[in-house]
Amino acid sequence: MSTTRFIRWVNRPVAVLAVLSLAGLTLTACTGDPAPVPAQTKSAPIGSALPPLPQLAPDLRPVVPPDLELAFGTDSVRVMIAVEQGARVNALLPPAIEATDGRRFTLRAPTVTEDSAYFVERASITVARTALPIRGTLRTSFCRSDERLCRSAAREVVIEDR
């Protein structure tokens, strides 16, 4: 028997013995008692690092999306946003009509508040009568006067020539 064959023959049982030893150690480590699981208590509050959200009063007024007012001219239509008394329209996210045919009409106003957050005047856009009819969704972000929260609202609109 040559020397290389002898080394292979001797190493084979050593390799098998090593594999069996590792398998035995692995099984021994896995068969121990599982870690104890603490019992759940129903009275313990769930803690969080986040601040609590404000609780809204149950008697809140429903959100009514702003409407549009139309002023027809000879060859164009002025479309103006109509919000409830005292509400402010967000100038950072101006109202827009997203038409079903892919057109987008963004309503703007010439003046905004000092922080550029709200329109001072009513937002509007002038549309040529040849662009009518417009069918789509009016998306508006507005803030009511008695709330410190801006809301986003959407409503379906149809603007047709009269």
Write the CB contacts of 36 (distance below 8 Å, at least 6 apart in sequence): none
The answer to the question of residue 21 being in a domain is no
Q: Are 111 and 102 in contact (CB under 8 A)?
A: no
| Residue 72 within any structural domain of the chain | yes
- The total of structural domains in the chain comes to 1
Q: How far apart are CA 145 and CA 139, in angstroms?
A: 19
At 97, list the tokens.
Answer: 């009509």
Q: What is the pLDDT of residue 32?
A: 60
Domain around 106: 67-159
In a domain, 96, yes or no: yes
What is the model's pLDDT at position 85?
Answer: 86
- Dig out the tokens for 91 from the structure: 């100038």
Global pTM reads: 0.62
Is 124 contained in some domain? yes
Within 13 Å and on the Cβ side, how many CA atoms surround 136? 18
The predicted pLDDT at position 147 comes to 79
What six digits make up the tokens of 77?
Answer: 């239509």
> Got the DSSP string for 17-86?
HHHHHHHHHHHHHHTSPPPPPPPP-SSSPPP-SSPPPPPPPTTPPPP---EEEEEE-SSEEEEEEE--TT
Q: What is the CATH number of the domain that holds 80?
A: 2.60.40.1250
Question: pLDDT tens digits, the chain, 162 residues: what are they?
Answer: 555 554 555 556 666 666 666 666 665 655 666 666 666 666 656 666 777 767 666 666 677 789 999 999 999 999 999 988 888 999 999 999 999 999 999 999 999 999 989 999 999 999 999 999 999 999 999 988 887 778 899 999 999 988
